[in-house]
Structure 1
C-alpha cells in the first residue's frame, strides 16, 4: 500500500512538471521569435496627414486619486481637435463624478463627452459597449484610469493601420511607480516579460495576441464585426481579441510605443488583479480553446494559442507539484521510490530554467546598461519565482473557478497615485478587501515548507531543497504582505 501511494504521488508530481515543461517550450519558442524580431529594429512612425476621426474611451469607476491626472494627460493628446472626441465612461458612485465634471470645464477646447451610468451592468465591458454606440470615431483608443498616455500616442499608433484588415494596435505598458517597493518591482518584472517577449514573439510569427485592456487602439469596424464587447468573462479584452482574430482580423504589437501606468502597491490589490486576470483567462480558455483547435490554423498558431489561453493553469500545476513533492520527498527518504525515478523527476526542472531565461532576457533587453541589469535580474529572479509560487494557492482557486464556470463580479483594481501625493495607504477608502480564508492557508503552507527545509538538512536529503526554500520564502512573504495589506482597509 505505501508503495502504491508513493507512485501515485510521483505520478501527480510528474504530471504537473510535464505541464510546466510543455509550457516552458512555448515560452522558449517565443523567446527565439523575440530575438528574431529584434534583428529588425523599427523606428517610430508618425502620422502627418489624412487624420481619421478618433474616439478615446476612458472607463472610470470611483477613481478619486487618479482621474484628474488622466484627464490632464488626454487633454494633451496631439491631434486635430475636430477629429478627436474623448468619452469619459463614468460608472462612479462617489465624489469622482463631481471631480470629473469640474475638471473637464478646464478644457473647453476639448470635445469631452461625459457619459454616466447609474447601473453598472456589464461592468467595464458594458461601459465600453454603451460608449461605442455613441462614438463617432472610426478608431477607438482605450485607457484605464491609472494610465498617462503620451501626447504623440495617436500619431504613433494610427500609421500601423496600414491595411483595412488590421483591427487593433497595442502599445507596451511601462511603469510609473516601479521602484516604489519590492512588490512593484516584481510586478514590473512579470509584465515586462509579457510585453517584451510574449507579445513580440507571438506577433512576429503571426500567432494570436491580445489587446491588454488599455493602451491600444481598435478599428471600430473590427469591434462590431467581432460581436462587440461581451461581459461573460472577467477579461473582456482577451475575449474580444480571440473573437476578432478568429474572424481573420490582424493585430499589431509595437513595443516601441510606450503607455505609462501605475502598478498596485499592496498585496491585497495585487491579489484582486491577479484573481481577475487568471480567472478571466481560464474563462476565455473554456470559451475559445475548442473552437481554435477545430479551426484551420497552422500547428504553431494552435500550440501558442493553447499556451496563451491556458497559461494561468500553470498555477494549478505549480500547486500540485508543490504539494506532491512533500510526499515524494518523504517516500524517497524512506526508500519507497527507486533513485532512478527521483532522477527522472529532477530532469523536468529544466522547464523552470527555460522560464527563468525568458524573464532574464526581458529584464536585460529593457535596460540600457546591460551588465548592471543582468546582475539586478539575477538577484531579482529567484525572489520573483518564489513569490509567483507563493501566489499559487490564490491563483489556482481563480483558475479552477474559471474553468468550471463559477461566476463572480468584476472587481476593479484600486489606484492610488502615491507618488503624486494624492492618497495614503493607511485607511485608504478603496482598500475594502476582506481577507479570504486562503490567506491563512498560505500561512500554513509557509510553515510546512519551512519545516521541509529543516528536515532536508536533518536527514541530509537535499532532493527538493532549492524548490522548498523558494516555496517557504514565497508563501511567507505572500502571507505577511497579505495580512498587512488587508489590515490597512480596516
Structure 2
C-alpha cells in the first residue's frame, strides 16, 4: 500500500493548500465588505490651481502593435489635463511596418500641438521593463502614467487619478480594468470574470487593509520618485510590474486603488493569445515569489497578517499546480476509496474540503453582483458562469503549471507580447493577424489526452466498488473533461 499512501499524502497536501487559499479569499471578501469609503477624506490636488498642478508624463510601451496603434494614439491625444503640464512618450521597440506608421501618426499629432515624443532604442534589452526605464531617463513628469497598447483610458482619466498624489506617501494609483469586448466569446467572458474578481475582491480587499497589492502593468500612475527609490524597473522577471510593486511597498510607499475609475481594454480573443498572456503572468508570479518572498517574511515592519496575504499573493499562480495535482490524483483516489474500506473515515474528513469550492462560489458571487447587479436572473447567470469559468480555468492548469515550474526553477524565457486584434464582433476575422503563431505545442497534445483521462474518470464513477458506483467526484471530472476539451479543441482550431 506504499503507492496508495503516497497518493493520499500528496492529494491531501494539495487540497490543504487550496483550502488555505480559499480562506484568504474569504478574508479579502470580509475586508472588502467592511471597508469604509474614505476617498472624500483623502487630500487631493486642486488641478484648477496651476501652482498645485504637477507635470505628468504618459508612457506607452509598444512592440509590433500594427492593429491597435492608430486607435491607441488617437485616444491618448484626447486626454484632458491642464495645458503645458503633460507630455506623451511612445516607447517604441517595434521591428515591423508598424514603426513607420506610428512615426507618421506621431508627427501628425505634433503638428496639432500635442506634446508627444517617439522614443526608440537600439535593442529590446529588458523588454517592457527596459523600455520603461529608458523612457524614464528623459521623462519630465513628476508622475508617470502607463498604458499598454490595448487600453483606451477615458479623456478625464488623469483628472480622476493625479489628485490623490497630494498625499506624499502614495507612490502608485491603480485603476480597475474594464473590457471592450467582454461578450465577444465564451473565452473573453471567462477572462473578464477572472479579472473582475481580481480588480474587485483582491485589489480592493488587500488595499483597504493595507496589504500588498500590485500595479497591474498598465492603467496606473507612478510617482517618479517612488520608482527610483525602489530601484527602478528591472527585467529579471516576466512581471516587472509585480516586482517593482513589492520593492516599493517594502520601502513603505503606499498604493491607492481606485475601484470606481474604470479603464477599458481589449481582451485576447484567440486562445493562443490568452495562453501567451497567462504563461507570462503565471511564470512571472512564480519568479517574483522566488525573488521577493524571503524579503517579505524577514521584514520587521510588516504585520504578520500582511505577510501571510503577501506570500499567498505571490503564490497565486502556484495554485494551478495544486489544482492539477488534485485533478490528476482524483481518479486514483476514487479507486482507493472503494478498495480500502478502513479508509472510510479519512474520506469523510476529506469531504470537508468541498468547503473550498463553496467559499470561492460565495466570494465570486459578491464580485459578480458588484459588477453586473443582483437578483434571481443574474444569480442564475452567475451559476452558469461560475461553472464555465472553473472548468476552463482547470483546462488551463497544465499550461499554467509548466509556467509556474519554470518560474520557480529559474528557467529564463523571452518576454512574449500578447497579440492585439482590435476586434469588436464575431464577424471580424482574427485569422489574418500576422502575430499569431502557427503549430501545435506539446501542451495541447497533453490537454487532449487529459480530456480522455477525465472521460475515463466519469466512466469510473459507474463501475467502482460493489454498490452501484460512486458519483461523488463525477461533477469534478465532468468540469475537467469540459475544461480540457474546450482548451484542446480551441487550440487546435485556432491553428487551422
TM band (smaller chain)? over 0.9
Q: Name the residue aligned to 1:123.
A: 127
How far apart are 1:336 and its partner, in Å?
Answer: 5.9
Q: How many residues align?
A: 485
How far apart are 1:41 and its partner, in Å?
Answer: 7.8
Q: Name the residue aligned to 1:307.
A: 312
How far apart are 1:371 and its partner, in Å?
Answer: 4.0
| Equivalent pair of 2:181/2:267 in contact (CA under 8 Å) | yes
Q: Which runs of 4+ in 1 moved over 4 A?
A: 38-46, 420-423
Which of residues 204, 209, 214 in structure 2 aligns to 1:210? 214
Q: Name the residue aligned to 2:483.
A: 474
| Equivalent pair of 2:184/2:425 in contact (CA under 8 Å) | no
Q: Name the residue aligned to 2:456.
A: 451
Q: Name the residue aligned to 2:267.
A: 263
Q: Name the residue aligned to 1:325.
A: 330
- C-alpha distance in 2, partners of 1:434/1:117? 32
Work out whether 1:26 is the aligned partner of 2:24.
yes
Which of residues 67, 71, 80 in structure 2 aligns to 1:78? 80
- Listed as ranges, the gaps of 5+ residues in structure 2 are none
| Equivalent pair of 1:81/1:111 in contact (CA under 8 Å) | no
Q: Name the residue aligned to 2:253.
A: 249
Which of residues 129, 144, 149 in structure 2 aligns to 1:145? 149
| Equivalent pair of 2:47/2:82 in contact (CA under 8 Å) | no
Work out whether 1:360 is the aligned partner of 2:365.
yes
How far apart are 1:95 and its partner, in Å?
Answer: 1.3
Which of residues 400, 404, 425 in structure 2 aligns to 1:395? 400
How far apart are 1:344 and its partner, in Å?
Answer: 1.7
The Cα offsets for residues 391-414 of structure 1, whole Å up to 9 and x where unpaired, read as 111101100110111100100101
Q: Name the residue aligned to 1:10.
A: 8
Work out whether 1:186 is the aligned partner of 2:190.
yes
Q: Which moved more, 1:277-286 or 1:100-109?
A: 100-109
How far apart are 1:109 and its partner, in Å?
Answer: 1.1
Q: Which moved more, 1:142-151 or 1:326-335?
A: 326-335
The Cα offsets for residues 334-384 of structure 1, whole Å up to 9 and x where unpaired, read as 236621111122111211221222222111111245443322111110110
Q: Name the residue aligned to 1:104.
A: 106
- C-alpha distance in 2, partners of 1:80/1:421? 40
- Listed as ranges, the gaps of 5+ residues in structure 1 are none
- C-alpha distance in 1, partners of 2:87/2:426? 30
Q: Which moved more, 1:372-381 or 1:268-277?
A: 372-381
In structure 2, relative to structure 1, the CA distance for the partners of 1:183 and 1:77 (3 Å cut) is same
Q: Name the residue aligned to 1:234.
A: 238
| Equivalent pair of 1:70/1:145 in contact (CA under 8 Å) | yes
Q: Which moved more, 1:211-220 or 1:114-123?
A: 114-123
